[in-house]
Amino acid sequence: MSFKHILSIIQDIDKTHYGISAGSASSTFESFSMYLSAPKEENVSKRGKVKRKYHLSTATEYIDAKLKQTFTESETYGKYVDLTLFYEMHKSILASQETYVEFLQNFAKFEHITKSPDSSRYLESLLGYLKQFHANAFPLASLEAPNTTKAPELEHGSEPQSQADDGKPNADGEVYCKSCDKLFAKESVYKGHLSGKKHKKNEEKKKTSSDTPKAETKPGIESVKSEIKCLSNQLKPIIDNTINDYQRRSRFSEREQQLERIAVEGELSDFTSIDSDSAKEESDDDDLDNMFSKDLPLGADGIPIPLWLYKLQGLHRSYLCEVCGNHAYKGRQQFNKHFGQPKHVHGLMCLGVLEEDTGLFANISTIAEVQDLWERVKKSKNAELEDEENNVEVEDEDGNVMSRKDYEELKKQGLI
């Protein structure tokens, strides 16, 4: 495209939008200065990325704050359930000695639950928590899914509950009387009790109660149990995750728990930190994003995984291990796995650590810490060996009893 053609296009734009007469030197100079001083498209795109990232960070921080109000720290955004309060209530009511894991496995079985007021309050509180957790964890799920009050399960598994089954034998020949709320083994026994005073009295009570309007009553204890069973089945994957996580954390030391907490907080800060004035840092992040996008690991489908998933898994963070020759491991998961790999074990053995003692150096990645711990291990081993030598007693020709170490020293000196 020639210079004259570009100039004619600029003059046409000026004449159409700005009313500047074409052909004058001043109008041509002003047009060129205006277009030359305009921001480049690259800078505009970078500013757009910075603004977009700022808005995403703001929205993420707002959502994170709302989720923290919805879920407790132990629930981890709906990943686990927190039934510690109900575990303590269950222990106080039944004087139970079961562990928290056993309670999570059996809280919906109700084997020893009575109909006492304390038990009723415990069941109603547990049901309320499970309903609230289900609504928070699955906000788009149908509300009718956990509701089983329409067909509650009573203590008798084969008891007919509907009006149509009243007075009719079931598959086992049993007959249910709704007025007396009783199950009879045979139809003849059921017919015989119809003429009794107790049945007639119960029928009159039922008629009078049906005629008078009733206030809204609370669901029965069996209905509450049925709803808890239904919700526990729906939340079973989350309950299983809670059991696995509790067992995993119970094996952690206090230091390991603190390190995991710091790692989780660090991962969350990548998505919730906001800095509106750091345009330079944002541009550096763009350069890093472009660099990462060229060298992302492949997923199961053979396609590079998305950058957000790459960061979510912590693969953008590198962890150095001095024992492995300052090798950098991408992600916390790979870093934790490498402590049992041959390369790390070989590095420990090069520092003088015996192969059978390498298990003591888990989660230690600096040479100074390895050497310090190894010195303490050697001292403890020498102390144990010395104790073993002192525990062995020998007797000389004169019948004197002494430790083996003292005996050998006296023998070397020729005193024995």
Q: Which residues contact 15 (CB under 8 A, 6 or more apart)?
A: 21, 22
Q: Say whether pLDDT at 66 is over 90.
A: no
pLDDT at res. 367: 92
* DSSP bridge pairs for 184: 175
Looking at per-residue pLDDT, the higher value among 324 and 304 belongs to 324
Q: Using CA atoms, how far apart are residues 359 and 353, in angstroms rounded to an integer?
A: 10
Burial string for 331-340 (b: 16+ CB within 10 Å, else e) reads bbebbeebbe
List the one residue out of 71, 128, 104 whose CA is nearest residue 245. 104
Q: Say whether pLDDT at 166 is over 80.
A: no
With beta carbons less than 8 A apart as the criterion, state whether 58 and 274 touch: yes
Q: Using CA atoms, how far apart are residues 133 and 299, in angstroms rounded to an integer?
A: 33
Q: Say whether pLDDT at 305 is over 90.
A: no
pLDDT at res. 295: 65
Q: Does the pTM exceed 0.75?
A: no
pLDDT band at 154 (very low <50, low <70, confident <90, very high): very low
Q: Using CA atoms, how far apart are residues 127 and 223, in angstroms rounded to an integer?
A: 11
Mean pLDDT confidence for 164-171: 66
For the ranges 161-165, 169-173, 187-191, 317-321, the lowest mean pLDDT is seen at 161-165
pLDDT band at 322 (very low <50, low <70, confident <90, very high): very high
With beta carbons less than 8 A apart as the criterion, state whether 411 and 400 touch: no
Looking at per-residue pLDDT, the higher value among 339 and 139 belongs to 339
CA distances from 107 to 62, 95, 116, 259 (A): 35, 15, 17, 32
pLDDT band at 49 (very low <50, low <70, confident <90, very high): low
Rounded to 10 degrees, the C-alpha dihedral 236/242/246/247 comes to: 40
Q: Say whether pLDDT at 179 is over 60.
A: yes
377: part of which helix (H) or strand (E)? helix 367-391
Q: Say whether pLDDT at 149 is over 70.
A: no
Amino acid letter for position 377 = V
Q: Which residues contact 133 (CB under 8 A, 6 or more apart)?
A: 75, 78, 81, 235
pLDDT at res. 31: 52
For the ranges 10-19, 223-232, 330-339, 353-362, the lowest mean pLDDT is seen at 10-19
Extract long-range pairs of 150-159: CB within 8 Å, 24+ residues apart.
151/226, 152/219, 152/220, 152/222, 152/223, 152/226, 152/227, 153/222, 153/225, 153/226, 153/229, 154/222, 155/222, 156/183, 159/183
Q: Using CA atoms, how far apart are residues 416 and 361, in angstroms rounded to an integer?
A: 46
Q: Which of 11-20, 270-279, 320-329 has the highest mean pLDDT?
A: 320-329
Looking at per-residue pLDDT, the higher value among 190 and 34 belongs to 190
For the ranges 54-68, 98-112, 267-281, the lowest mean pLDDT is seen at 267-281
pLDDT at res. 276: 43
Q: Say whether pLDDT at 136 is over 50.
A: yes
pLDDT tens digits, 345-374:
999 999 888 888 888 888 888 999 999 999
pLDDT tens digits, 23-37:
454 555 555 555 555
Place of tokens 């150096």: 361
pLDDT at res. 160: 38
Mean pLDDT confidence for 11-18: 58
Q: Say whether pLDDT at 148 is over 90.
A: no
DSSP one-letter code for 415:
-
State the average pLDDT for the chain.
74
Alpha helices in 37-107 (DSSP H): 41-70, 84-94, 100-106
Structure tokens at 242: 């809670």
Q: Say whether pLDDT at 375 is over 60.
A: yes
Looking at per-residue pLDDT, the higher value among 57 and 42 belongs to 57
Q: Using CA atoms, how far apart are residues 361 and 352, in angstroms rounded to an integer?
A: 12
